[in-house]
Amino acid sequence: MTLDYIKIIDGGVTAVPGFLASGVHAGLKKEKLDLAILYNSKLCSAAGVFTTNRVKAASLLLTMERIKEGYAHGVVVNAGNANACNGPQGLDDAAAMTRAAAKELGIDEKYMLVSSTGVIGEPMPMEKVLPGITKAAGKLSADGGHAAAKAIMTTDLVPKECAVQLEIEGHTVTIGGMAKGSGMIHPNMATMLAFITTDAVIKPSILQQALKQVVDDTFNMITVDGDTSTNDSVLVLASGDAGHSPIVEGTTQYEIFTAGLREVCKKLAQDIARDGEGATTLLEVVVKNAPTIKDARLAARAVAGSNLFKCAVFGEDANWGRILCAVGYSGAQFDPGKVDIYLGDEQVAQNGGAVPFSEERAKEILGRDKVTVTVDLKAGEKCAAAWGCDLTYQYVRINGSYRT
């Protein structure tokens, strides 16, 4: 539920005044847009959270190093090639992308970030990428956010955008975002890219703290297939143009800003789960009354990530035993003899055992485009939610021929 002081507005990254974006076809993909630039002429506070995979793409390694300084003007992003596992040449190519973008924009190269997504282990076609960057720089506009959101897609079926407004000290603050992700999605950052903009006044260290806090509740609570990619990134740029005093941790202003950031990230995270490769159903798993937030998160993610239960959702089979089984191996602390389970509003288990329920009603619930599973551990007061999707025949078809 959206808090009453957060207003959802149209748009994405360029809904925030001062940010420009573009999306163009550079030729990395046959026909679709495949290269984007996000830019602000003002040097912005910058923060990022990245994949936990030990194998990291060259673009990600470069961005991780540059963002340590805490400031950036923007990011250049390509789809169609991950620039991962390409050795020293990959690092050279990533740097060349930022150098080309910085030259076009008239900024210092060290303040340009880079991100890539696509096939792993194939050399970057720089003869296409570099002219594409020139083209994208020439098309930057305040209306370019949607094109940018389309240009970062891989197997995504739809672009993913969100924007909100809120007030801090009487000043309107806008937060916008775009993301891509469909397969290789799993907690602790998945094969997803997310780029968030805001005009809030906030120091890099505080922005980093807020982002990490929010990512743990949102992007790290989604799963599609259990794979964690080499390129996963969430980047935030804050221009400071809103005009309020700097946001400080532990204040009402910090809580308001973090709530707005969470709203954007949650919407993008749910859109990624909903758009899982071959998916027909968004799966929401709510675990309540856990002893700790860690236990709640462990249990929710285990159920959302259970291939057996994901198949049951696709088959509209109310096999609640697979839910309890997943909670059991999650690592969460609870008493199996106290657990209640609901599919939608239909209770299917009580105190760890079967109860009479309507198979027809349960089947109807599982056939919806969004299914909410509630697991009541009755072991505390903490709650967490995770999001995933069903596992379908189409997922196998897509990933059986990903390179072709």
Tens of pLDDT, residue by residue over 73-85, are 999 999 999 998 9
Reply yes or no on whether the pLDDT at 184 is more than 60: no
The reply to whether 39 and 20 lie within a common domain is yes
Phi and psi dihedrals of 288, rounded to 5? Answer: -125, 165
Count of domains for the chain: 2
Burial 21-47 (b: 16+ CB within 10 A, else e): bbbbbbbbbeeebbbbbbbbeeebbbb
Question: For residue 158, what are its two tokens?
Answer: 């739809």
The reply to whether 266 and 288 lie within a common domain is no
The pLDDT confidence band at residue 395, using thresholds 50, 70 and 90, is low
Residue 55: which residues within 8 A CB-CB, separation 6 or more?
Answer: 84, 85, 230
Question: For residue 328, what are its two tokens?
Answer: 């059991």
Catalytic residues: 191
The reply to whether 384 and 258 lie within a common domain is no
For residue 49, tell me if it sits in a domain: yes
| Residue-wise pLDDT tens digits, 201-233 | 999 999 999 999 999 889 888 875 444 556 788
Domain stops at, among 249, 272, 295 = 272
CATH number of residue 316's parent domain:
3.10.20.340
Distance CA(172)–CA(371), nearest Å, equals 35
Distance CA(304)–CA(177), nearest Å, equals 24
Instruction: Give the number of other Cβ atoms within 10 Å of residue 312's Cβ.
Output: 20
Mean pLDDT, rounded, for 366-373: 92
The pLDDT confidence band at residue 188, using thresholds 50, 70 and 90, is very low
Residue 169: which residues within 8 A CB-CB, separation 6 or more?
Answer: 244, 245, 253
Question: For residue 339, what are its two tokens?
Answer: 């657990």
pTM of the prediction?
Answer: 0.82
Distance CA(184)–CA(58), nearest Å, equals 18
Full residue range of the structural domain in which residue 193 is found: 7-272
For residue 157, tell me if it sits in a domain: yes
Predicted pLDDT at 404: 53
Predicted pLDDT at 158: 85
Judge contact between 361 and 331, C-beta under 8 A: no
Distance CA(358)–CA(103), nearest Å, equals 65
For residue 104, tell me if it sits in a domain: yes
The reply to whether 330 and 247 lie within a common domain is no
Residue 319: which residues within 8 A CB-CB, separation 6 or more?
Answer: 308, 309, 312
The reply to whether 258 and 353 lie within a common domain is no
Q: Cα-atom radius of gyration of the chain, to the nearest Å?
A: 21
Of residues 53, 280, 15, the one with CA closest to residue 165: 15
Residue 41: which residues within 8 A CB-CB, separation 6 or more?
Answer: 18, 73
Tell me, what DSSP letter sits at residue 222?
B
